[in-house]
Each structure stands twice: as C-alpha cells, then as structure tokens.
Structure 1
Amino acid sequence: MKRRAMTYLNRWIAPLALGLAASLSLTACSQQDQPERPPLEGAAIGGPFTLVDKDGKTVTWDQFKGKWRIVYFGYTFCPDACPLDVQAMMRGFNAFDKAHPAEAAKVQPIFISIDPERDTPEVVGQWTAAFGPRLLGLTGTPDQVRVAADAFVAYYKKGEETPGGYLMDHSRIAYLMDPDGKPIAMLPVDKGPDAVAAELAKWVK
C-alpha cells in the first residue's frame, strides 16, 4: 500500500518539480533581459528656468530639449568642492567623448551659479572656460537662480561674512537628464572621471 502511494506521488511530484524549475529559470531569464531602470526615474527633479550665459544672453531650460544634459549647481569662489567636482565631471565627460563621440555630441554639460551676487556672467564664463569649451556656465538674478535651484532640489545658503569673503553652503550633485529633461542618474563625481565616463556610457545612447 505504501509502495503504491509512493509511486503515485512520484508520478505527480517529478513533473511538478520540473515545471517549477523551468518556471524559475524562465523568470530569471526574463529579469535578466529587462533593461536596468534609471535610478532617478520618476523623481520630481528638473523644470523650467530662465538664466543668462557669459554673454548675458537669455538661456531657458526648454532650449536644451532633445539633448542630454549634465547639471551641476555651485559657485566660482568655492575653494575646494566645486573645482574638484566639476573637474571630475568634465574629465569624465571628455573621456566619454573620446570613446563615444557621436553620443557625447548629444550631451550638454551645464554649470549653474548659486552665488549671483559675485558670479556675474563674465566671471562665470571665465571660470567654466578653465574646464573646457563644452561646459556652459549660467547665472542670473537671485530670483532666477532660486527658481532653477528649487526645480532641481538643489540646496544652497550664504555663509557668514569673513575677512576673506563669504562661503556658500550647497549640495554637490551632478544630475544627468535625458533629452526630454527627465532625471536619469546622479553622476559619481566623488569617485573620479572614470566612474563618470562609465555612468555616461551606461545611459547615453
């Protein structure tokens, strides 16, 4: 009786086990075939702004439609963080440009000043030029800068006055935005140019 019961169970368990294994295998394959989702997909980051470039010409967010964008908020009098971040960002971009020129041609790196009191269009233009001709520097009135920073959830605050001038407390994020202006990822400027180049190659197609 026991032998018959075992035989009966084996007839059902074996096919069930095989079916379950096949199902799990197909699920794993299906998950591997799915493209990785952007880390910032769906985040409320980015939006309309109106600023000016080094020549004092008006620049709006909508002018970049159809292009990938790298956006970093900082200020030119920053003694350490901004130069280091932007240097890593632009060296990474240049490495990406060398390896993938067609894709890099569709990317616009942007530096937005959060210190409009000192960062005139001319000052911003001179500062960004030190990092290469592809980096676009933007500034504006305090209200214009606030609108842009709020759209990108960028924090900044003016520090206390000192004999050497004031510093600005601010967030340090380089956003990668897609051609529709939607957020894709934060570029790892803290990990160096190679990491930035790899991240760009991962998303910009």
Structure 2
Amino acid sequence: MTYLSPFRRLLAVSASAPMLALTLALACAVPLASCGQGREEHPPLEGAEIGGPFTLFDKAGKPHTWDSFKGQWRIVYFGYTFCPDACPMDVQAMMKGFALFTRDHAADAAKVQPIFITIDPARDTREIVGQWTGAFGPRLLGLTGSAAQVKQAADAFAVYYKKGENTPGGYLMDHSRIAYLMDPDGKPIAMLPVDKGPEAVASELAKWVN
C-alpha cells in the first residue's frame, strides 16, 4: 500500500469527493493566514463537514452510535485488520502518541476515546476487530458492522476505500489514511500526524485537548 502524508491523504479522498477536498483545503488554509496576522490559531479542520451518524458494534456486540461518544474527545481511524503494513504502523503511532499524552496529561486523556473502524466488514468480524485493537491497548475501541453500516460511517468521515484484486494471500483494501481528532461535540479539529511518529501525535493532542 502506498504511504501517504496527511495532506496527500486528503488528495486521495478528492477523487471521490472533490468539493469536500476543497472545503478541507480551505479550512486548513484560513487558519494559517490568520496566524500570520497574529490572531488566535483556529483548528485546522474547523468548519469541515466531517463526522456524522452511524451505528456500529464492538467485540461484545454492543451497539455504538456517533452520539454515544457525546461529551468525549474522539480519535477516529478507518482501516482493516488484514492490512499488512499501513494500518498497523498508523495505529501504533496513534496509540503510542496517545500513551505519551496520557503520561503527561492524564486528566485530559481520560476525556479522549480512540476509535478504530474497519472498512473490511466481510472479514473483520467483531471478534477479529476486538483482538486486533486489543493488541494496541485497552483504550482503543474497535467497531464493525454490516457493509451498509460501515459505508455510512465512512461516508460521514469522507473516507475512501475500495476492495483490491485477489492475491494468493488474500485481497488488500485501498483506503485513505487519516486519524481524525474530533471535539466533544463531534466536530472535526485536526488530523493527527501519525506519519511523523508518536511524539508528534502527543504534541498535537496536547495542543487541542483541554
């Protein structure tokens, strides 16, 4: 799977949703301009139409809706457990960064819920997703559902995904790679820089979560 930086990940989405990519680009550009003028910095994704209703299930079969997390900061990443490289690297950086943030800001970290949502429901059963996310720590919540339920969630977060060709080891999934930080009202704040490592993720969390 080709590795994409956070900005190029947005471009990966633009093939399916060019207007959304433009909206996100503008949302990122405006704060930079205002910072240059000495104004208070705004969240990079402020005003972007990211996030929305869904119903998915955890390893115990418990349903979770987007409103279930109301009042909590949320880290949301879409991937799949059979991913050979990208997803494990991203989630590892995300959760190691979250652990560093927890070490230094325990009270704020207690208000954050990291979430992994599969884009491969045909193979990622509740049990498989639960086992996979458990390897990254007890705080990471893994969610799956029917193909239609997963699509609803992915569409709400402007996530691109597509089943690849079959190979001797099984098929791969092509997908955008973004770890969204969402505020307690479910509004998008920033993309966590998982490509830059745990320290960068922890720094970004400390910048916005309070």
Is the TM-score greater than 0.5? yes
Residue in structure 1 matching 2:164, options 147, 153, 159: 159
Partner of 1:192: 197
Per-residue deviation, 1:34: 3.8
Per-residue deviation, 1:57: 1.2
- Secondary structure, counterpart of 1:79 in structure 2: coil
| 1:34-67: CA deviation from partner (whole Å, max 9, x where unpaired) | 4310000000000010000011111111000000
After superposition, the CA RMSD in angstroms is 1.3
Partner of 2:44: 39
Stretch moving more, 159-168 or 188-197? 159-168
Q: Based on CA coordinates, which of the two structures has the bigger radius of gyration?
A: 1
Partner of 1:87: 92
Residue in structure 2 matching 1:125, options 99, 123, 130: 130
Structure 2: how far apart are the matches of 1:34 and 1:161?
Answer: 52
2:70 counterpart of 1:78:
no
1:46-57 matches, cutoff 5 A = 46-57=51-62
Partner of 1:145: 150
Structure 2: how far apart are the matches of 1:102 and 1:48?
Answer: 28
Q: Could you tell me which amino acid in structure 2 is paired with residue 151 of structure 1?
A: A
Per-residue deviation, 1:140: 0.3
Partner of 2:17: none
Q: Could you tell me which amino acid in structure 1 is paired with residue 103 of structure 2?
A: K
Question: How many residues are aligned here?
Answer: 176
Structure 2: how far apart are the matches of 1:97 and 1:61?
Answer: 23
Structure 2: how far apart are the matches of 1:102 and 1:57?
Answer: 26
- Secondary structure, counterpart of 2:199 in structure 1: helix
Cα separation, partners in 2 of 1:58 and 1:84, compared to 1, 3 Å: same
Per-residue deviation, 1:163: 1.5
Q: TM-score normalised to the size of structure 2?
A: 0.82
| 1:137-156: CA deviation from partner (whole Å, max 9, x where unpaired) | 00000000000000000000
Structure 1: how far apart are the matches of 2:158 and 2:43?
Answer: 18
1:7-18 matches, cutoff 5 A = none
> Which consecutive aligned stretches of 4+ in structure 1 deviate over 2 angstroms post-superposition?
30-35
Q: Could you tell me which amino acid in structure 1 is paired with residue 67 of structure 2?
A: D
| 1:128-177: CA deviation from partner (whole Å, max 9, x where unpaired) | 00000000000000000000000000000001111110000000000000
2:118 counterpart of 1:106:
no
- Secondary structure, counterpart of 1:91 in structure 2: helix
- Secondary structure, counterpart of 1:132 in structure 2: coil
Stretch moving more, 51-60 or 66-75? 51-60
Q: Could you tell me which amino acid in structure 2 is paired with residue 50 of structure 1?
A: T
- Secondary structure, counterpart of 1:73 in structure 2: strand
Q: Could you tell me which amino acid in structure 1 is paired with residue 148 of structure 2?
A: D
Residue in structure 2 matching 1:97, options 79, 85, 102: 102
| 1:60-84: CA deviation from partner (whole Å, max 9, x where unpaired) | 1100000000000000000000000
Structure 2: how far apart are the matches of 1:117 and 1:57?
Answer: 19
Structure 2: how far apart are the matches of 1:60 and 1:101?
Answer: 26
- Secondary structure, counterpart of 1:133 in structure 2: coil
Which runs of no fewer than 5 residues in structure 2 stay unpaired?
Answer: 1-34
Give percent identity, aligned residues only: 78
Structure 1: how far apart are the matches of 2:68 and 2:40?
Answer: 29
Q: Could you tell me which amino acid in structure 2 is paired with residue 195 of structure 1?
A: A
